Amino acid sequence: MDRELSPRLAVGLAYIRKTGSNFIAWTDVGGQYREETRTLADGSTLPVFALVSSTASRRFLLTNPDGYSLTYNGLVMVLEKRRSNGWQALASYTLSRAYGLQASSGASAADPQVSTVAPAFPSAVAFGRDPNSLTNADGRLPNDRPHMFRVMGSIDVLRTGFVVGASLQYFSGKPWAATTQMALPQGDQRILLEPRGSRRLRRNQSSICASRERFPSVGQEDASSCFWMCSMRSMTRRRRPWRRTISSARISVSPPSSWTRVARCSV
Protein backbone atom coordinates (compact mmCIF):
# COMPACT_ATOMS: atom_id res chain seq x y z
CA MET A 1 0.00 0.00 0.00
CA ASP A 2 1.40 3.40 -1.05
CA ARG A 3 0.04 6.86 -0.39
CA GLU A 4 1.26 10.25 -1.53
CA LEU A 5 0.99 12.73 1.32
CA SER A 6 2.21 15.61 -0.85
CA PRO A 7 3.96 15.98 -4.21
CA ARG A 8 7.29 15.57 -2.39
CA LEU A 9 6.41 13.10 0.36
CA ALA A 10 5.10 9.53 0.17
CA VAL A 11 4.65 6.62 2.56
CA GLY A 12 4.37 2.90 1.93
CA LEU A 13 3.30 -0.13 3.91
CA ALA A 14 3.80 -3.77 2.91
CA TYR A 15 3.07 -7.10 4.57
CA ILE A 16 5.03 -10.19 3.52
CA ARG A 17 4.24 -13.76 4.47
CA LYS A 18 6.09 -16.84 3.33
CA THR A 19 5.51 -20.44 4.37
CA GLY A 20 7.17 -23.70 3.47
CA SER A 21 6.77 -27.37 4.32
CA ASN A 22 7.83 -30.89 3.28
CA PHE A 23 11.52 -30.07 3.63
CA ILE A 24 14.08 -32.83 3.13
CA ALA A 25 15.91 -34.08 6.22
CA TRP A 26 17.36 -37.18 7.84
CA THR A 27 15.64 -39.54 10.28
CA ASP A 28 16.64 -42.82 11.91
CA VAL A 29 14.17 -45.58 11.00
CA GLY A 30 16.15 -48.51 12.42
CA GLY A 31 17.54 -47.58 15.82
CA GLN A 32 15.55 -47.94 19.03
CA TYR A 33 15.80 -45.18 21.63
CA ARG A 34 14.68 -44.82 25.22
CA GLU A 35 13.77 -41.48 26.72
CA GLU A 36 15.90 -40.71 29.77
CA THR A 37 17.08 -37.69 31.73
CA ARG A 38 20.54 -36.42 32.54
CA THR A 39 21.50 -34.08 35.36
CA LEU A 40 23.67 -31.09 34.52
CA ALA A 41 26.27 -29.53 36.79
CA ASP A 42 23.85 -26.81 37.90
CA GLY A 43 21.30 -29.39 39.07
CA SER A 44 18.86 -29.03 36.19
CA THR A 45 17.72 -32.06 34.22
CA LEU A 46 17.78 -32.55 30.47
CA PRO A 47 15.62 -35.09 28.59
CA VAL A 48 17.67 -37.22 26.20
CA PHE A 49 17.17 -40.15 23.84
CA ALA A 50 19.58 -43.00 24.54
CA LEU A 51 20.16 -45.73 21.95
CA VAL A 52 19.21 -49.15 23.34
CA SER A 53 19.80 -51.17 20.17
CA SER A 54 23.20 -51.72 18.57
CA THR A 55 24.73 -48.89 16.58
CA ALA A 56 24.67 -51.17 13.52
CA SER A 57 20.86 -51.28 13.70
CA ARG A 58 20.48 -47.61 12.81
CA ARG A 59 19.21 -46.83 9.31
CA PHE A 60 19.29 -43.22 8.19
CA LEU A 61 16.56 -42.31 5.73
CA LEU A 62 16.54 -39.07 3.74
CA THR A 63 12.88 -38.15 3.47
CA ASN A 64 10.32 -35.46 4.30
CA PRO A 65 9.85 -35.84 8.08
CA ASP A 66 6.86 -34.36 9.84
CA GLY A 67 7.31 -31.06 11.63
CA TYR A 68 9.83 -29.43 9.29
CA SER A 69 8.50 -26.03 8.20
CA LEU A 70 9.27 -22.36 7.64
CA THR A 71 7.08 -19.36 8.41
CA TYR A 72 8.05 -15.76 7.79
CA ASN A 73 5.94 -12.71 8.64
CA GLY A 74 7.23 -9.25 7.90
CA LEU A 75 5.87 -5.71 8.03
CA VAL A 76 7.75 -3.02 6.07
CA MET A 77 7.12 0.71 6.54
CA VAL A 78 8.71 3.24 4.18
CA LEU A 79 8.87 7.04 4.22
CA GLU A 80 10.22 8.77 1.10
CA LYS A 81 11.11 12.43 0.55
CA ARG A 82 11.37 12.76 -3.21
CA ARG A 83 14.17 14.77 -4.71
CA SER A 84 13.43 18.47 -4.63
CA ASN A 85 15.25 21.61 -3.57
CA GLY A 86 18.53 19.76 -3.95
CA TRP A 87 17.96 16.87 -1.53
CA GLN A 88 16.17 13.57 -1.07
CA ALA A 89 15.78 10.96 1.68
CA LEU A 90 14.38 7.49 2.24
CA ALA A 91 13.77 5.67 5.53
CA SER A 92 12.38 2.19 6.16
CA TYR A 93 11.69 -0.06 9.13
CA THR A 94 11.06 -3.80 8.99
CA LEU A 95 9.48 -5.79 11.79
CA SER A 96 9.67 -9.51 11.10
CA ARG A 97 9.71 -13.02 12.53
CA ALA A 98 11.15 -16.14 10.89
CA TYR A 99 10.59 -19.41 12.71
CA GLY A 100 10.18 -23.11 12.09
CA LEU A 101 12.35 -26.22 11.85
CA GLN A 102 14.92 -26.85 9.15
CA ALA A 103 18.16 -28.77 8.67
CA SER A 104 20.08 -25.67 9.76
CA SER A 105 18.15 -25.31 13.04
CA GLY A 106 21.02 -26.88 14.94
CA ALA A 107 23.67 -24.63 13.40
CA SER A 108 25.64 -21.96 15.24
CA ALA A 109 24.84 -18.27 14.87
CA ALA A 110 27.63 -17.90 12.31
CA ASP A 111 26.22 -20.53 9.94
CA PRO A 112 23.74 -19.80 7.13
CA GLN A 113 20.08 -20.72 7.07
CA VAL A 114 19.55 -23.60 4.64
CA SER A 115 16.92 -26.24 4.01
CA THR A 116 19.28 -28.80 2.48
CA VAL A 117 21.61 -31.49 3.80
CA ALA A 118 24.15 -30.91 1.03
CA PRO A 119 27.83 -31.43 1.98
CA ALA A 120 28.47 -27.75 1.27
CA PHE A 121 26.79 -26.98 4.61
CA PRO A 122 28.53 -29.15 7.26
CA SER A 123 26.29 -27.98 10.11
CA ALA A 124 23.22 -29.40 8.34
CA VAL A 125 24.64 -32.62 6.90
CA ALA A 126 23.82 -34.91 9.84
CA PHE A 127 20.97 -32.96 11.46
CA GLY A 128 18.07 -35.28 12.35
CA ARG A 129 20.00 -38.54 12.27
CA ASP A 130 19.94 -38.57 16.05
CA PRO A 131 16.64 -37.61 17.74
CA ASN A 132 18.52 -35.48 20.30
CA SER A 133 19.31 -32.94 17.58
CA LEU A 134 15.59 -32.09 17.45
CA THR A 135 15.39 -31.14 21.14
CA ASN A 136 14.49 -27.41 21.36
CA ALA A 137 15.38 -27.02 17.68
CA ASP A 138 11.96 -25.67 16.69
CA GLY A 139 12.11 -21.87 17.02
CA ARG A 140 13.68 -18.80 15.47
CA LEU A 141 15.57 -19.60 12.27
CA PRO A 142 19.19 -18.48 11.71
CA ASN A 143 18.20 -15.56 9.47
CA ASP A 144 15.63 -14.16 11.92
CA ARG A 145 16.27 -10.45 12.52
CA PRO A 146 13.20 -8.89 14.18
CA HIS A 147 14.24 -5.26 13.68
CA MET A 148 15.85 -3.70 10.61
CA PHE A 149 16.13 0.05 10.13
CA ARG A 150 17.55 1.82 7.08
CA VAL A 151 17.88 5.50 6.27
CA MET A 152 19.62 7.11 3.31
CA GLY A 153 19.73 10.49 1.65
CA SER A 154 21.69 12.88 -0.53
CA ILE A 155 22.09 16.63 -0.82
CA ASP A 156 23.64 18.99 -3.35
CA VAL A 157 26.50 21.15 -2.09
CA LEU A 158 25.71 24.65 -3.35
CA ARG A 159 27.89 26.08 -6.14
CA THR A 160 30.36 23.17 -6.05
CA GLY A 161 28.85 20.47 -8.26
CA PHE A 162 29.22 17.98 -5.43
CA VAL A 163 26.48 15.64 -4.30
CA VAL A 164 26.97 14.15 -0.84
CA GLY A 165 25.06 11.07 0.20
CA ALA A 166 24.97 8.85 3.26
CA SER A 167 23.20 5.72 4.45
CA LEU A 168 22.82 3.96 7.77
CA GLN A 169 21.62 0.43 8.47
CA TYR A 170 20.79 -1.15 11.81
CA PHE A 171 19.55 -4.69 12.36
CA SER A 172 19.14 -7.15 15.21
CA GLY A 173 21.75 -9.79 15.88
CA LYS A 174 21.30 -13.41 14.78
CA PRO A 175 19.61 -15.87 17.16
CA TRP A 176 21.33 -18.68 19.03
CA ALA A 177 20.85 -20.87 22.08
CA ALA A 178 22.93 -22.50 24.80
CA THR A 179 24.00 -26.10 24.14
CA THR A 180 25.67 -28.96 25.95
CA GLN A 181 27.76 -31.88 24.73
CA MET A 182 26.25 -35.04 26.25
CA ALA A 183 27.88 -38.51 26.32
CA LEU A 184 25.31 -41.13 25.24
CA PRO A 185 25.51 -44.80 24.12
CA GLN A 186 25.39 -43.71 20.48
CA GLY A 187 28.25 -41.24 21.04
CA ASP A 188 28.59 -37.63 22.13
CA GLN A 189 25.65 -35.50 21.06
CA ARG A 190 25.28 -31.72 21.00
CA ILE A 191 21.88 -30.83 22.48
CA LEU A 192 20.14 -27.47 22.68
CA LEU A 193 19.33 -26.49 26.26
CA GLU A 194 16.74 -23.89 25.29
CA PRO A 195 14.66 -22.97 22.23
CA ARG A 196 16.65 -21.43 19.44
CA GLY A 197 16.35 -17.65 19.61
CA SER A 198 16.42 -17.48 23.40
CA ARG A 199 19.65 -15.49 22.98
CA ARG A 200 20.98 -13.19 20.29
CA LEU A 201 24.27 -11.85 19.10
CA ARG A 202 24.63 -8.11 19.56
CA ARG A 203 23.18 -5.76 16.98
CA ASN A 204 24.94 -4.86 13.73
CA GLN A 205 25.10 -1.50 12.04
CA SER A 206 26.83 -0.05 8.99
CA SER A 207 27.09 3.40 7.45
CA ILE A 208 28.25 4.70 4.07
CA CYS A 209 29.14 8.27 3.18
CA ALA A 210 29.80 9.19 -0.47
CA SER A 211 30.36 12.29 -2.56
CA ARG A 212 30.24 12.75 -6.29
CA GLU A 213 31.14 15.56 -8.68
CA ARG A 214 30.39 15.91 -12.37
CA PHE A 215 32.54 17.91 -14.73
CA PRO A 216 31.98 18.28 -18.49
CA SER A 217 34.42 17.03 -21.09
CA VAL A 218 34.52 18.71 -24.52
CA GLY A 219 33.24 16.41 -27.27
CA GLN A 220 32.79 13.51 -24.87
CA GLU A 221 30.31 12.32 -22.32
CA ASP A 222 30.41 13.99 -18.94
CA ALA A 223 32.91 12.47 -16.55
CA SER A 224 32.57 12.21 -12.82
CA SER A 225 34.65 11.54 -9.77
CA CYS A 226 33.40 9.62 -6.79
CA PHE A 227 34.63 9.14 -3.25
CA TRP A 228 32.97 6.94 -0.70
CA MET A 229 33.70 5.61 2.75
CA CYS A 230 32.06 2.63 4.39
CA SER A 231 32.03 2.05 8.12
CA MET A 232 30.64 -1.23 9.43
CA ARG A 233 30.22 -2.04 13.08
CA SER A 234 29.72 -5.72 13.68
CA MET A 235 29.38 -6.33 17.38
CA THR A 236 31.19 -9.63 16.88
CA ARG A 237 34.88 -9.41 16.08
CA ARG A 238 35.06 -13.01 14.97
CA ARG A 239 32.84 -14.70 12.46
CA ARG A 240 32.06 -17.52 14.88
CA PRO A 241 30.93 -16.78 18.44
CA TRP A 242 33.23 -17.57 21.32
CA ARG A 243 32.49 -20.60 23.42
CA ARG A 244 33.05 -21.24 27.07
CA THR A 245 31.75 -23.82 29.50
CA ILE A 246 29.03 -22.73 31.93
CA SER A 247 27.18 -25.40 33.96
CA SER A 248 28.36 -28.13 31.56
CA ALA A 249 26.88 -26.19 28.64
CA ARG A 250 28.93 -24.71 25.86
CA ILE A 251 27.70 -21.17 25.74
CA SER A 252 28.33 -18.92 22.77
CA VAL A 253 29.42 -15.48 23.95
CA SER A 254 29.72 -12.48 21.66
CA PRO A 255 33.07 -10.66 22.08
CA PRO A 256 33.54 -6.88 22.27
CA SER A 257 32.52 -4.73 19.33
CA SER A 258 34.83 -3.45 16.61
CA TRP A 259 34.71 -1.09 13.68
CA THR A 260 35.75 -1.81 10.09
CA ARG A 261 36.29 1.16 7.79
CA VAL A 262 36.89 1.21 4.02
CA ALA A 263 37.56 4.22 1.78
CA ARG A 264 37.68 4.38 -2.02
CA CYS A 265 38.17 7.06 -4.64
CA SER A 266 37.41 6.56 -8.36
CA VAL A 267 37.16 8.62 -11.54
* DSSP character string of the chain: -EEEEETTEEEEEEEEEEEEE---EEEESS--EEEEEEE-TTS-EEEEEEE-S-GGG--EEEE--TT-EEEEEEEEEEEEEEEETTEEEEEEEEEEEEEEE-TTTTS-TTSPP-S---TT-HHHHSTTSSGGGGTT-SEE-TT--SEEEEEEEEEEPTTT-EEEEEEEEEEPPPEE--EEEEEETTEEEEEESS-TTSEEPPPEEEEEEEEEEEE--TTSPPEEEEEEEEEEEES-SSSSPEEEEETTEEEEE----EEEEEEEEE-
Task: Residue 117: count other Cβ atoms within 10 Å of its Cβ.
Answer: 20
Rounded to 10 degrees, the C-alpha dihedral 238/241/243/246 comes to 140
Nearest CA to 176 out of 191, 192, 196, 204 is that of 196
Number of CB atoms found within 10 A of residue 257's CB: 14
- Distance, in Å, from the CA atom of 229 to the CA atom of 211, rounded to the nearest integer, reads 9
Position 121 scores a pLDDT of 82
Please list the pLDDT of the chain residue by residue as tens digits (267 residues).
Answer: 899 999 999 999 999 999 999 999 999 999 999 999 999 988 899 999 999 999 999 999 999 999 999 999 999 999 999 999 889 999 999 999 999 999 989 888 888 888 888 877 887 888 999 999 999 999 999 999 999 999 999 998 888 878 888 888 999 999 999 999 999 999 999 999 999 889 988 888 777 777 666 555 544 555 555 555 565 555 444 444 444 334 444 444 444 444 455 555 554
Looking at residue 162, its pLDDT comes to 84
- pLDDT given for residue 75 in this prediction: 97
